[in-house]
């Protein structure tokens, strides 16, 4: 079931949460809506779920081509998982999962046995079958989140919507659970949108990433597309570390082949720390002279903090530890920098 949203607008008083947002999620994909807090991503998800309604007169929400804009949440057949789980605290895990089936009208309601069987099968699916009798307060965060997922799946939703599903978990559980979610999605093949502010999470597991900022969609693309070819300075800075350098200083340091480049551009150059090549300082060579100010070698990569000789701008560079060993660098050494890949944007493009 595909999900489409066309030009959605939403205001809360003076605050604009969505300012003409479009979204297109193809059947069976796992799509991440990524953005800083306050970018409107959760509002978008809640409008798709029917928990919130777009401003009157603004766009439509379509599920598989059918207009669901005016349908209430209960009729949309969506599975929604909340950041803080929102499990029914007075019900056991089993009762939580069975809830969606129990509240159906008598003629649509499965038999007691069928409900029990389905609930247990879902708990098996999320690997929690042994905990059916527990109460939410007796579970860990990761377990609660999986119960919430099983509960959402019990009503056989056509789409799955996850609001910061791992936001309340600690780093380690979060990593495990997001890989688990990816595998799980590959198994059940349900069109899924999840909202997150964690770029690592989005880039790691999503088929497609929708990047939002200030009530707008900034860019849509596969994780590689958005990382390698950011459409705006915001996306560049939001997805990983970046050096922002003044352009003229770097005219001689750029290599050919970088996308969207114009050597005469006045303005700023965006370059990722790992896209900078460091070589020993040779007189007359091309590139940019810089002085090593700090070497941070603990971790998988070595990070160098350098200062450009010409402009005194700070540059962060990431190189492998073996490269660092080959260069045999010390603090206050002079080196040359060359940019393997960089971007420039029009100066008037506000970040």
Partner 1 sequence: MASAIATALPARPGHAPTPRANRDPAWARWLLTAVALAFLAFFLVLPIVVVFAQAFAKGGAYFLAAVREPDALAAIRLTLLTVAIVVPANVVFGVAAAWAISKFKFTGKSLLTTLIDLPFAVSPVIAGLIYVLIFGAQGWFGPWLIAHNIRVIFAVPGIVLATTFVTFPFVARELIPLMQAQGTDEEYSAVTLGASGWQTFWRVTLPNIRWGLFYGVILCNARAMGEFGAVSVVSGHIRGETNTMPLHVEILYNEYNIAGAFAVASLLALLALATLVVKSAVEWRQTGSA
Looking at beta carbons only, is 105 or 172 nearer to partner 1? 105
Question: Rounded to the nearest 10 degrees, how much is the dihedral formed by the CA atoms of 274, 312, 262, 281?
Answer: -60
Q: Is 50 near partner 1 (CB under 8 A)? A: yes
Q: Is 287 near partner 1 (CB under 8 A)? A: no
Q: Is 273 near partner 1 (CB under 8 A)? A: no
Looking at beta carbons only, is 78 or 317 nearer to partner 1? 78
Q: What is the C-alpha separation between 302 and 294, in angstroms, rounded? A: 11
Tell me the window of 54-62, 66-74, 286-294, 302-310 that interacts with partner 1 (CB under 8 A): 66-74
Query: Which residue pairs, CB below 8 angstroms and at least 24 apart, start in 173-176?
Result: 173/140, 173/141, 173/142, 174/201, 176/142
Length, in residues, of the chain:
351
Looking at beta carbons only, is 95 or 228 nearer to partner 1? 95
Residue of 30, 33, 154, 242 interacting with partner 1 (CB under 8 A): 154
Residue of 32, 33, 47, 78 interacting with partner 1 (CB under 8 A): 78
Q: What is the C-alpha separation between 231 and 275, in angstroms, rounded? A: 18
Q: In what helix (H) or strand (E) does residue 201 lie, and over which residues does it extend?
A: helix 199-205
Considering only CA atoms, which of 173, 157, 166, 119 is closest in space to residue 128?
119
- The residues in 310-339 that bind partner 1, with binding defined as CB under 8 A, are none
Smallest separation (angstroms) from partner 1 to the CB of 76: 8
Query: Between β-strands 276-280 and 15-25, what pairing exists: parallel, antiparallel or unpaired?
Result: unpaired
Q: Kindly state the number of chain residues that form the binding site for partner 1, as judged by CB under 8 A.
A: 27
Angle among Cα 177, 183, 189 to the nearest 5 degrees reads 125
Looking at beta carbons only, is 49 or 304 nearer to partner 1? 49
Q: Is 74 near partner 1 (CB under 8 A)? A: yes
Q: Is 88 near partner 1 (CB under 8 A)? A: yes
Q: Residues 100-119 vs partner 1: string with x where CB under 8 A?
A: x--xx---------------
Tell me the window of 47-55, 60-68, 165-173, 174-182 that interacts with partner 1 (CB under 8 A): 47-55
Q: What is the C-alpha separation between 126 and 143, in angstroms, rounded? A: 9
Q: Is 254 near partner 1 (CB under 8 A)? A: no
Looking at beta carbons only, is 66 or 156 nearer to partner 1? 156
Burial of 269-290, coded b for 16+ CB within 10 Å and e otherwise, reads bbbbbbbbbbeeeeeeeebbbb
Q: Residue numbers of the site for partner 1 (CB under 8 A)? A: 49-51, 72-76, 78-80, 82, 84, 86-90, 99-100, 103-104, 148, 151-152, 154-155
């Amino acid at each position: 079931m595909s999900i489409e949203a066309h030009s959605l607008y939403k205001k809360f008083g003076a605050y604009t949460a969505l300012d003409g947002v479009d979204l297109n999620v193809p059947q069976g994909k796992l799509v991440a809506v990524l953005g800083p807090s306050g970018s409107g991503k959760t509002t978008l998800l809640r409008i798709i779920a029917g928990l919130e309604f777009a401003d009157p007169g603004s766009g439509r929400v379509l599920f598989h081509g059918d207009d669901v804009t005016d349908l209430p949440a209960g009729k949309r057949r969506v599975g929604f998982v909340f950041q803080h789980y929102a499990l029914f605290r007075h019900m056991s895990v089993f009762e939580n999962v069975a809830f969606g089936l129990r509240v159906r009208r008598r003629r649509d309601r499965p038999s007691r046995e069928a409900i029990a069987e389905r609930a247990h099968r879902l708990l098996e699916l999320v690997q929690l079958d042994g905990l059916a009798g527990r109460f939410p307060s007796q579970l860990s965060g990761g377990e609660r989140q999986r119960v919430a997922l099983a509960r959402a799946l019990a009503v056989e939703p056509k789409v799955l919507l996850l609001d910061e599903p791992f936001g309340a978990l600690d780093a380690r559980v979060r990593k495990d659970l997001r890989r688990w979610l990816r595998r799980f999605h590959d198994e059940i093949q349900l069109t899924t949108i999840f909202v997150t502010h964690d770029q690592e999470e989005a880039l790691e597991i999503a088929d497609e990433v929708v990047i939002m900022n200030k009530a707008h969609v900034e860019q849509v693309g596969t994780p590689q597309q958005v990382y390698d070819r950011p459409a705006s300075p915001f996306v560049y800075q939001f997805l990983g570390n970046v050096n922002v350098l003044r352009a003229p200083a770097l005219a001689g340091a750029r290599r050919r082949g970088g996308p969207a480049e114009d050597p005469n551009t006045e303005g700023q150059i965006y370059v990722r720390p790992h896209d900078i090549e460091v070589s020993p300082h040779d007189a007359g060579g091309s590139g940019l002279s810089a002085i090593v100010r700090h070497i941070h070698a603990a971790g998988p990569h070595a990070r160098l903090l350098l200062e450009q000789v010409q402009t005194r701008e700070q540059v962060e560079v990431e190189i492998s530890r073996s490269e660092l060993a080959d260069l045999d660098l010390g603090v206050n050494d002079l080196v040359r920098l060359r940019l393997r890949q960089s971007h420039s944007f029009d100066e008037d493009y506000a970040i």
